[in-house]
Amino acid sequence: MNQRPKSKSPPSSHHHQQQPYSNVKTLTLASKMARKSLIKPTLATVFLLLSCYALFITFLSPTDPLFDSREKLSNDLNFPGNSPPVKVYMYDLPRKFTYGVIESYAKARGGGDVKELKYPGNQHSAEWYLFDDLNREDRSGSPVIRVLDPELADLFYVPFFSSLSLVANPIRPGSVGVVGDEAPVYSDEEMQEGLIEWLEEQVYWKRKNGWDHVIICQDPNALYKVVDKVKNGVLLVSDFGRLGRDQASLVKDVILPYSHRIRTFDGDVGVQSRKSLLFFMGNRYRKEGGKIRDLLFQLLEKEKDVIIKHGAQSRESRREASQGMHTSKFCLHPAGDTPSACRLFDAIVSLCVPVIISDYIELPFEDVIDYRKIAVFVDSTSAVKPGYLIKLLRRVSTERILEFQLELKKVKRYFEYEDPNGTVNEIWRQVSLKLPLIKLMINRDKRLVKRDLPEPDCSCLCSNQSRIHNTL
C-alpha cells in the first residue's frame, strides 16, 4: 500500500500526429497541452505522471478511510498521520437541565412569558455557546464532530447549564427562598443532585467511570455540591479556586475564558486616544485573594492619570467600563474571590494591556497564547508596595505598549465566543487534545491490579519557576 508510481524518464520518441487529437473531445486537456509544440508531449507525460501520483495520493493513499477503516475500527489508531477529528456525543438531557434553567431564571425574575427562550447575558455563558454550537446544523470548520450515536463517540458532553443554575434563583440559599407565599422558586442544589442521579443511570457514564465525559462548570462555584462525583471527567472551568488538586488540573481540564461583558474595541492600536495610564472598575471588597483590591484602591485612587472606581454589575457600569477601558493604556486585573475574573477578557478585547495581580491565576489556551506578550504580571507582594506598580507602568515606553496592543489584536478572536473561528472552536480543540490521556487512563485503570500505594497514584507535570516579581 505504500508503493508509489516511480517517475519514468521522458519517452525517447517525440514524434506524434497532431491532427487527430482535435476530434477527441474526451481528452481535451491533454490534447491542448500536446498540440502546440514539440516539447508538449513531455509536458503531457509529466502531467499524466503527476496525475497518476495525485490520483494515488488522493484516492488510494493509506490515510483514505476506504482503505484503512478496518485498522481504525480494530485499533482506533490512524498511524502514522494525524489524529482524526474527535467525535463528541451530546447528551439529550431532560429539558429541566438546559432550557428549563433559562425558564426558571426568567420566572424567578418575574418574566411571565418565557416563550422566547433567551439565555441571559452573563460572564459564564460558555455553557450556552457550546450547547448552541453542537446544535448547529452546519458544523463545518469545527475541530470536533458531533455524533448522534453514542457508540461512535470518543467523548460525551453533558450540557447542563450549571452556571446559570447557580444564579437562577436570586434568593440566596438559606434564606426563605420563596416568592410571595409560594414554594421555593428553584433549587440549584437539587438540580446538581438530580444531574448526578440522571448521569449515574447512563450506561456510557458507568462504562468508563466518567473519564470520557466533558462537564462544564464555568462559574467557580457551579456544581460545588457534586464536583467530587464528576471529577474524573474533563471539567471546563474558569480557574481552580474552588477545586482540590485531586479534582481538577491543567492536565485533565480546560480553562475557559469568561465572556467579555463590555464592548469590543474596534479601533486600531495607538495611545493617542488612551489618556489614562491605568483603569479599574469593579467590586472593591472581595474575599480571599481578592482582599488585595482594597489595598490597591488605597494606593492608587489618588494617582492623577489612574481611574479606579468601585462599581457593581449593571448596564450603566458596563457602559462606563467600556469607555474607561477603551481610553486607558493599562487595565488592572486583581484577583477576585477566586483568581480569575471577566475583567481580564474585557481588557483584552479593549486592547487595554492587562496588569494581572493574581498570583494563582490560570489562563485559557496557554499552549497557544504567550500571555507575557499581551499582559503584565506583577506579584501581589510587590504590587502593594507604595509606588511600585505605578512607577513600573510609567516606565513602559509607547513602543512597548504598541507591541502589546498588536499582540492583543492577534489573539483577540480567542476571546470572542461569537466569532466562528473564536473561543468555541478553541475550547473544542483543547478538549480534543485531552483524548489520548483520557484513553490511556481508561485503559490503564481497567487493568490495574490491587496494590499497596503509599500515596495517590498520580501522574504529574510540575513547575518550579516562580521567582520573578513582574514580567516587564
Residues 233 to 262 in contact with a second copy, rule: CB under 8 A: 245-246, 249-252
Q: Scan for cell 507535570, then name that residue.
A: 461
| Residue among 11 and 65 whose Cβ is closer to a second copy | 11
Task: From 323, 246, 310, select the one nearest 283 (Cα to Cα).
Answer: 310
- C-alpha to C-alpha distance for 201 and 207, rounded to whole angstroms: 11
Q: Which amino acid is at 54?
A: A
- Beta strands 86-90 and 144-146: pairing type? parallel
Considering only 91-99, 167-175, 343-351, 357-365, which stretch makes contact with a second copy by CB under 8 A? 357-365
- C-alpha to C-alpha distance for 289 and 297, rounded to whole angstroms: 15
- Beta strands 155-158 and 254-255: pairing type? unpaired
Residue list 157-216, contact with a second copy (CB under 8 A): 209
Angle at 416 between CA 97 and CA 290, to 5 degrees: 75
327 belongs to the binding site for a second copy (CB under 8 A): no
- C-alpha to C-alpha distance for 238 and 362, rounded to whole angstroms: 8
For the record, the C-alpha cell of 188 comes out as: 440549584
11 belongs to the binding site for a second copy (CB under 8 A): yes
Considering only 135-143, 176-184, 189-197, 394-402, which stretch makes contact with a second copy by CB under 8 A? 135-143
Q: How far is CA 469 from CA 291, 296, 359, 397, in A?
A: 19, 17, 10, 19
27 belongs to the binding site for a second copy (CB under 8 A): yes
The distance of closest approach from Cβ of residue 109 to a second copy in the complex, given in angstroms and rounded to an integer, is: 36
| Residue among 107 and 409 whose Cβ is closer to a second copy | 409
Considering only 26-34, 117-125, 279-287, 330-338, which stretch makes contact with a second copy by CB under 8 A? 26-34
| Residue among 139 and 275 whose Cβ is closer to a second copy | 139
The distance of closest approach from Cβ of residue 20 to a second copy in the complex, given in angstroms and rounded to an integer, is: 4
* Interface residue with a second copy, options 121, 170, 267, 436 (CB under 8 A): 436
The distance of closest approach from Cβ of residue 171 to a second copy in the complex, given in angstroms and rounded to an integer, is: 37
* Interface residue with a second copy, options 45, 165, 317, 328 (CB under 8 A): 45
For the record, the C-alpha cell of 68 comes out as: 484503512
| Residue among 176 and 460 whose Cβ is closer to a second copy | 460
Residue list 55-114, contact with a second copy (CB under 8 A): 55, 57-59, 74-77, 79-83, 85
Residue list 452-471, contact with a second copy (CB under 8 A): 453, 456-471
Considering only 93-101, 306-314, 390-398, 418-426, which stretch makes contact with a second copy by CB under 8 A? 418-426
Residue 84: is it exposed, middle or buried by C-beta count within 10 angstroms (0-12/13-18/19+)? middle
| Residue among 262 and 331 whose Cβ is closer to a second copy | 331
The distance of closest approach from Cβ of residue 235 to a second copy in the complex, given in angstroms and rounded to an integer, is: 12
Phi, psi of 8 (to 5 degrees): -100, 160
447 belongs to the binding site for a second copy (CB under 8 A): yes
The distance of closest approach from Cβ of residue 387 to a second copy in the complex, given in angstroms and rounded to an integer, is: 18
Cβ atoms of residues 407 and 374 within 8 Å? yes
Cis before 80 (ω within 30): yes
DSSP 8-state assignment for residue 332 = E
403 belongs to the binding site for a second copy (CB under 8 A): no
* Interface residue with a second copy, options 156, 377, 404, 417 (CB under 8 A): 377
- C-alpha to C-alpha distance for 334 and 343, rounded to whole angstroms: 9
CA 28 to chain centre: 50
